[in-house]
Amino acid sequence: MSAEQGGPADAVPNPPTSLDPDDWTALRADAHRMLDDMIDHIAQVRERPVWQPLPDDVRARFSAALPRGETPLGEVYADFTDAIAPYATGNVHPGFMGWVHGGGTAVGMLAEMLAAGLNANCGGRNHVGIEVERQIVRWVRELFGFPDTASGVFVTGSSMANFMALLVARAAALGPQVREGGLAGEPLTAYASAAAHGCVVQAADLAGLGRGAMRRIPFDAAHRIDIAALRRRIAEDRAAGFRPFLVTGSAGTVDTGAIDDLAALAQLCRDEALWFHIDGAYGSLGMLSPEIAPKLAGLSEADSIALDFHKWGQVNYDAGFLIVRDGEQHRATFAAPAAYLRRETRGLAGGSPWPCDFGPDLSRGFRALKTWFTLKTYGTERLGAMIAQTCAIARHLEARVRREPQLELLAPVTLNIVCFRYRAQSGMDADALNAEMVADLHESGMAAPSATTIDGHLAIRAAIVNHRTTYEDVDRMVDAVLKFGAARTG
Ligand SMILES: *Cc1c(COP(=O)(O)O)cnc(C)c1O
């Protein structure tokens, strides 16, 4: 398919309405420059600040009116290089430790470009994009110890996957008629730790159960759901006429990385006949590491798991995923019954069930390809070692925090997240001080941790997710914290 070989694209003139270039050679030159520049951008990420604020004049460029005429690609690209590329989130940078963001890879970027070239619509039909996604489903089953009857589907992220899992659990509890008749006053209740991600509560809201239907159960000193309190609350709800249907366990909470006792939750759900879902957004991929996997004991017993390849898996955004043990239950929650029965058995319209039968999206891109490239290129051993390494760096940071008299650890370190703060002098507002210091760090361009609240205290949270982050990077971050802390309190 090279230019030298020639091809139909070179030989046949474009119809006037086509958006293809008249000069493929010029496009090829632009394309190679963009690719080279972006590879440099990633390779030289350390030489730039983690993050920098968008200057007002740059921001103003995005207020220009809808373009009516054409602009040469080179000029549009020049806008990208000076107004867009320098002001991204920063999560490609090894100094980015905020929230729980993956770092992505150049391999994932290339796969994303190839997927865009194919421009496959992976909602359905009989083509290889669907088969690649099915292979990922098989790989996730294998990784999690799920049966061959389990189904899976790519989605934007775990917010969507947690929501969809709640809908599957709801249809399992009430029967498929809930899809026609709605809740009809059924007083459904669901359960999750008070440390669960906000999207777990949001799922109950979106599904029409109301946020209050997601009972937020207290957690223990290790930030794990209090199983006895959970049992009590379920019994109280049943006695009061509610209908418990779902427990969501956390495999890596977003604030501290705590892992609920998943085996105990699995047992409780069996005893109580409840759907056992796991929000494994980032932590479930700890299964890739033989060192981390034992912490996730019980994960394989879940009815469904939400996960993000775009966090610890380092797949470029976005690549969320939902796996459901009972694939038929999953399909029965989303497949449009009439359309499903009309499906062809041969031709391009054959080969169902399709991803659109397992979620609300019809048209959808080829997220599976960048995930497939990432898993094949690096292999699970290397990815698992990278995940274990982020945890080792977090333990190094924890030890450093414990050694520094000015710093205080605010939560136990289970995986790769360290929550700490700078000690304020008496009479000083420690929360305000630490919040200012987080912003100081961001604006310094040196490191970007985030802030969260632990036991009512504002914490500096460093989540080591990026595969590029080193021991030196976290030491530099601590040095900067000590410097800014001294400057603000001195
Ligand atoms: C990131 C995260 C989510 C939300 O996932 P998105 O991919 O951002 O939608 C949910 N739960 C946990 C524990 C997370 O870390």
Topology of the domain covering 25-66+76-103+379-490: Aspartate Aminotransferase, domain 1 (3.90.1150)
CA of 157 to the centre of ligand 1 (A): 7
CA of 358 to the centre of ligand 1 (A): 20
Q: How far apart are CA 234 and CA 240, in angstroms?
A: 10
Give the pLDDT confidence score for residue 490 in this predicted structure. 81
Give the pLDDT confidence score for residue 3 in this predicted structure. 45
Q: How far apart are CA 280 and CA 303, in angstroms?
A: 12
Which residue owns the Cα nearest ligand 1 atom 2? 281
Nearest C-alpha neighbor of 167 from the set 415, 7, 335, 339: 335
Helix (H, G, I), strand (E, B) or coil at 279: strand
Give the tokens for residue 402: 């414990």
Q: Note the pLDDT tens digit of each residue in 256-277.
A: 999 999 999 999 999 999 999 9
CA of 476 to the centre of ligand 1 (A): 27
Any atom of ligand 1 within 6 Å of the Cβ of 366? no
The residue whose two tokens read 């420059």 is 33
Report the CATH architecture of 121-365: 3-Layer(aba) Sandwich (3.40)
The residue to mutate among 99, 155, 197, having the most atoms of ligand 1 within 8 angstroms of its beta carbon, is: 197
pLDDT mean over 70-78: 97
Q: Residue 128, exposed/middle/buried by CB under 10 A (0-12, 13-18, 19+)?
A: exposed
Q: Note the pLDDT tens digit of each residue in 296-339.
A: 999 999 999 999 999 999 999 999 999 999 999 999 999 987 77
CA of 67 to the centre of ligand 1 (A): 36
CA of 281 to the centre of ligand 1 (A): 5
Q: Note the pLDDT tens digit of each residue in 357-386.
A: 999 999 999 999 999 999 999 999 999 999
- With b for 16 or more beta-carbon neighbours within 10 A and e for fewer, the 39-57 pattern comes to eebeeebeebbbbeeeeee
Any atom of ligand 1 within 6 Å of the Cβ of 247? no
Confidence tier at 341 by pLDDT (50, 70, 90): low
Ligand 1 atom closest to the CA of 320, numbered from 1: 7
Confidence tier at 291 by pLDDT (50, 70, 90): very high
Residue 13 has pLDDT above 80, yes or no: no
Q: How far apart are CA 205 and CA 214, in angstroms?
A: 9
Confidence tier at 340 by pLDDT (50, 70, 90): low
Give the pLDDT confidence score for residue 274 in this predicted structure. 98
Phi-psi label, residue 252: left if phi above 0, alpha if psi -120 to 50, beta otherwise: left
Could you tell me the pTM of the whole model? 0.96
Q: What is the mean pLDDT of the chain?
A: 95
Q: Do the two domains 25-66+76-103+379-490 and 121-365 of this chain adopt the same fold? A: no
Domain locations in the chain as residue ranges:
25-66+76-103+379-490, 121-365
- For 199, phi then psi, to 5°, come to -70, -20
The residue whose two tokens read 């029967």 is 175
Any atom of ligand 1 within 6 Å of the Cβ of 193? no
Beta-strand (E) ranges in 309-382?
320-324
Give the pLDDT confidence score for residue 320 in this predicted structure. 98
Q: How far apart are CA 139 and CA 136, in angstroms?
A: 5
Any atom of ligand 1 within 6 Å of the Cβ of 452? no
Any atom of ligand 1 within 6 Å of the Cβ of 478? no
